[in-house]
Chains A and B, each alone.
Chain A
Amino acid sequence: MQTSGKMKWLWLAIGAVVMLALPQLVTSSFAIDIFIRILLFSFIGVAWNLMGGYAKQLSLGHAAYFGLGAYTSTIMQVNYGISPWIGMVAGGVVAMLASLPIGWLCFRLRGPYFTIATIATAQVLMLIFLKFRDFAWGAEGTTIPNLGSAPLMMQFEEKSSYYYVVLGLLAVGLWITHRIEESWMGYYLVAIGEDEDAAEAVGVNAPKIKRDIYMISAFLTALAGTFYTQYIYFIDPATAFSFNVSIEAALVSIVGGIGTLWGPVIGTVLLETTSALLQSWLGSSVGGIQLTVYSLILMAVILWRPTGLIGFASDVYHRTLRRKPARA
């Protein structure tokens, strides 16, 4: 959109102030919990969107990196007493390294079969962690020892502190996305997403670009894994490598606007708010209602507005306010 430079900074500053003030204004822990979920899944969506949105490498296996991040920091903390702040970065590095062989295998396939291969890798990792009972507690998982207020161990008494941590993560994710969008890499990614063969024909080193963006995407997703484990004080293979994480990462990006900076955030706000409303109306007694509604929203977006809510908003904006057709 043609927002001028100064206006953009103004909006960004207003947004930042609102986001920073929010947990002070709204003190209900139920609401803050929802805010944290929204920020967390926005961040995971932003990480997914780098690879799935811009380069259209549609992974449904990002739980692999979420889980690796969660397990790396938890193993370091519980077994060796190392701070999760260090563990978080270590988890990111582990995920980055793991993305190399996983990418080497999965990028041999394209389109839907790439998607299937990524599902398989996340499942294999979950099965492996179910088997490792000696240092990773097997299927029972483990609870994180509660130290009360210990900011150096990423443990806080106030829920709002977790809010600020995940807000910071999201800001980093958006900043990285913005930098990539404006760099040569962003253009290469979009070219690969449009038509990989054509991109290679004009000299884009597609395998290298895909490998690099997969590493960045995996690194960021792993940070989310560490945060989530610290937030819920518990880890087991089923939650760490949950297929739902992989699904939601892709869903929020597609519903919001695939391959756009703010798409994952907008998608998460819609989906998580819907889910919270459903829960408060119906209670959590009706199993499956959340994903039923998610899948209906996803189908509606794909059939009627494949550019997502951002594309929809941009169309409406141009038609009504500017009386000009949207960009072709």
Chain B
Amino acid sequence: MNLYFPLTDMYKFLFVVPPFFGHISPTLSVGASLLEKGHQVKWLGITSLADHHIPEGGEYIYPAEDLQPHLEELQQILRRQDDGPGCSAPEVMKIAFEETYVPMARIMMGGLSRTVDRWKPDLIINDCVTFAGALCAHMKGIPCVTTTPVPPEVMGNTAETAPKIFAWHEKLFRGLQEEFGLYHDQLLVHSKQMNMVFTSSEFAGVKNPEPHMRFVGPVKGRPNHTEFDWQRLEKARGPLVFVSLGTLLIDIRKDFFGKLIQAFADAPLTIVAATDPAIFEEWPDNFIVSGFVPQAALMPKMDAVICHGGFNTVNDTFLNGLPMLIIPITYDHFHTAKLIEDAGCGIKIRYKRLKIDDMRKAVFELLENSTYREASARIRETFIAAGGNDKAVELLEQCCAINNNIN
């Protein structure tokens, strides 16, 4: 045993992920790095995930049998996510917590619990909206780390500013854990040992993070074999502007990209858009559109980015020192937009207040005024200093080692 890795103990890591690719993506990158070091890594989720996303040597577990009775409810939950853009902030909070995260935990627990009993991971790593992971870890006495792909503190200090919202949260989380027989003083849906955040504390605007909050910055390296028409990109004229709406928000794509066409058809720049080209019969000549793109490989060639605030695109943008036009639509986009404005590395226009002319002006301002690019380069420095994949692996190994010594 361990002939090739005599200095480190090898561990089994189980990532527990929600059915949202933006949340899964950084775990695939960290998982790839753990696998490279010789650890065993599995993922568990409640929707299937195509094999080509899984790093070599890893395995994605979809507990089909346990999920069978919940398929209809699950489909309803997934469809409900598209209602976000039409809802007010307090309604969105209800959709997220009451109608998504809490029922997801219930749906997930059976299959997760059986997988954990069978495979016996050394560490459970639950995504911040995948409460079942942390609750299951607590029940089975397995150490747990939480991963947070977005800047934390989205809602600010609700204990002070909105005590009744704070109480609602507490009651919801406590009710869930008590359903599983966990009567405990503390809330158990997130790890108290470590919460790994994939941004820098500087960008997140968190001045004095609690000791268990560990900001490791963006991580990269997940498999992405998507093909792209690189030749067409080389021939493209003018500055290159990357546009992404992420993987959710299907319903408003047509409206959003329609506005984009109005603003930039025939403008002296090229739009590189990640969206299903089928939403329109024809695209302007200066638009390169594909359903899936190798985003990490594309980004270094871009000059600016337009997005709604999906966090993986935000990370890729500032890791490449690019300026961003952020068009927040719903969920945590507004918080991210504020952080970008605070850092000076982009311009915000809210989707509901979007005028074509403002969008055009904002993009040319970002391309022509170097202060946004300079601010983005400063964020890039904080991202790199946070440590990325190496730091994430080191911290996860430490969590296993500490626990082994205790046992």
Same assembly? no
Chain B residues proximal to chain A, CB less than 8 Å = none
Chain A positions near chain B (C-beta within 8 angstroms): none
